[in-house]
A and B are shown apart, each in its own frame.
Chain A
Amino acid sequence: METSVPSTAELQALLDMTTTINMEVFYWWCTALMVIIHAGFLAYEMGASRLKNALASGVKNILAFAFIVPTFFFFGWWIYLAMYGGFTPDLEAGAGGMPWSLSMGPNLTDNATGIFWGAFVLFAATTASIMSGAVIERIRMSAFIILAIILGSGVWILAAAWGWHPDGWLTTTWGFHDFGAAGCVHMIAGFFALGVIINLGARIGRFDSLGKPVAIEGHSMPMTIIGLMLIIVGFFGFLGGCIIYSGTGQWTTIFGTPATLSAVSFNTLMAFAGGLIGGYLVTRQPFWMMSGGLAGIVSAAPGLELYYPPMAFLIALFASSVAPLVDKFITNKFKLDDAVGAFAVHGVSGMIGLLALGIFAAGYPNVNGPEISFMGQLNSTLVMAALGFIPGYVVSLVLAKLGMLRVPPKAEVAGLDLVEVPLKAYPESVPAAPSDKPVTV
């Protein structure tokens, strides 16, 4: 029996298709893992809310996801493709991201657009979830949705176009380097949240008549802790989504520099451990341990493909030690109520991470810009801080002036589950009774 021998062209075609499908499979599972981040944020926020607000916090978190996906389809992806040079769009480059483009739907000749769009949507939803935790128990749902859309489908992706794009102007001008999106995701979301909570104000009872902080405990610390661990699990998808699978050579960063998943494995785990230990050393309590683990990974994220693992460990330990202190400082000094420490964990740790890379990884070459330098990282960090803070502050200020930002005090006291949802989180055990007094510890 005669067997046919495939031609070189047929073998090449087979190899090409296998490579393409491997790429799709890789990002598909990264995206699936990133959904776990949202399961984590959901549990985290509900647990951090008092019983009277647990479901409303859950609804708010889910709606962030729900509104980010379509709006990111409508205009978010276009922003990424078109706005890499600043505020002037490259219309030609952006054409493929218009919602009526033939690439923005099932297309047998385009295996890449949908899978990358999906991964970026999950990054977008992550930014909204970061902000979501900071504003629980008193923000109006509609105001939150508007802010989430602006952050997730506008601000973060503009920051990504500038600093997480092969041709982004921060990289081509200053050599900005940020492997794991500590800037465009974490700093942007953290600083955006800071701008919002300034205008939103503290929850009723968060400060006593003398301005002294009063701790408001959530109804389920175990749920919060498990939620944080789920976020860490999802982070492996998040960080996998940060590396480019070319199929024909070594993995690269989004900036085109060579990288390996092996390196990311070393440093993600070392940073997680460093973060846990830092949080434990400073606070001795599980919330800040797990938040410290998160802060640790965020702080090492810019150089996960470059750091010597003990260095990632120490950077993470430092950032996670600083985060609870920063949270305490902004609470005591400025009377800000960041319910989950989102600014400290994401904004400050992201900032520490970007600057640390400028110190410890200076001199590494970039493919499309000058080498990594401290000044390049510093300048870019300032841009990220401003780009996150200003829209969050301005939009929330406008909403506050229009009376659309915060729920009425009586509704806040009664609890948003009762007023808005209205369902009880645990109807057969503990009633979602109205309560006007936070638990004091």
Chain B
Amino acid sequence: MASPITTWEGAEAIFTFADKPAMIGLFLTLSIAVTIYAIVATIIHENESYIDYNE
């Protein structure tokens, strides 16, 4: 269950998987990995784009 609550009474942190640290860690790690990959993908794209333009 993604919901950390079963009632709104007394609810505090309500974001998905707020009560499951492993899942928070998983989504956080995936987010960081995707962000880093996007930089790597940019470098790859540049290198491919520059093939015909290198001296």
Residues of A within 8 A of B (CB): 67, 70-71, 74, 99-100, 102-103, 105-109, 140-142, 145-146, 404, 407-411, 414, 419-420, 422
Of B32, B42, B50, which is within 8 A of A419 by CB? B50
Question: Known contacts A70-B35, A142-B42; is A107 also within 8 Å of B53 by CB?
Answer: no
Contact (Cβ within 8 A) B43 A102: no
| Contact in complex: A407, B50 (CB < 8 Å) | yes
- In the complex, 22 of the A-B residue pairs with CB atoms within 8 angstroms, ordered by the A residue number, are A70-B31, A100-B24, A102-B13, A103-B13, A105-B15, A106-B13, A107-B12, A107-B14, A107-B15, A108-B14, A109-B12, A109-B13, A141-B46, A142-B39, A145-B39, A145-B42, A407-B46, A407-B50, A408-B55, A411-B49, A411-B50, A419-B49
Q: Cβ of A410 and Cβ of B43 under 8 Å apart?
A: no
B13, A105: Cβ atoms under 8 Å? yes
B7 interfacial contact with A, CB 8 Å: no
Nearest to B28 among chain A residues (CB) is A99
Which residue of chain B lies nearest to A73 when distances are taken between CB atoms in the complex?
B31
Task: Give CA–CA (A70, B29) in the complex, Å.
Answer: 12
Question: How many Cβ-Cβ contacts under 8 Å join chain A to chain B?
Answer: 69
| Interface of B (DSSP majority class) | helix
| Min CB gap A73→B, angstroms | 8
Complex Cα distance, B30 from A35, in Å, reads 27
CB within 8 A of A409: which of B25, B28, B42, B55? B55
Which of A107, A142, A145 has the largest count of B CB atoms less than 10 A from its CB?
Answer: A142
Total number of B residues with any Cβ neighbor in A under 8 Å: 25
Q: Which 3 A-B pairs have the closest CB atoms?
A: A105-B15, A411-B53, A102-B13
> Would A420 and B45 count as touching, CB distance under 8 A?
yes
Across the interface, which residues of B come within 8 angstroms of A103, CB to CB?
Answer: 13
Instruction: For B43, list chain A residues within 8 Å (CB).
Output: 142, 404
| B1 contacts chain A at the CB level, 8 A cutoff | no
Please tell me if the beta carbons of B46 and A140 are within 8 angstroms of each other in the complex: yes
Residues of chain B contacted by A419 (CB below 8 angstroms): 49-50, 53
In the complex the two chains form, is B46's CB within 8 Å of A142's CB? yes
Closest Cβ of chain A to B10, distance in Å, is: 9
Chain B residues with CB under 8 A of A106: 13-15
B46 touches A420 (CB 8 A): yes
In angstroms, Cα B52 to Cα A91, docked, is 50
Q: Which residue of A has the minimal Cβ distance to B18?
A: A102
**How far is the CB of B31 from the nearest CB of chain A, in Å?**
6
- Judged by a CB distance under 8 angstroms, whether B54 is at the interface is yes
Q: How far is the CA of A106 from the CA of B55 in the complex (A)?
A: 52
Q: Which of B11-37 contact A (CB under 8 A)?
A: 11-15, 18, 21, 24-25, 28, 31-32, 35
Residues of chain A contacted by B54 (CB below 8 angstroms)? 408, 410
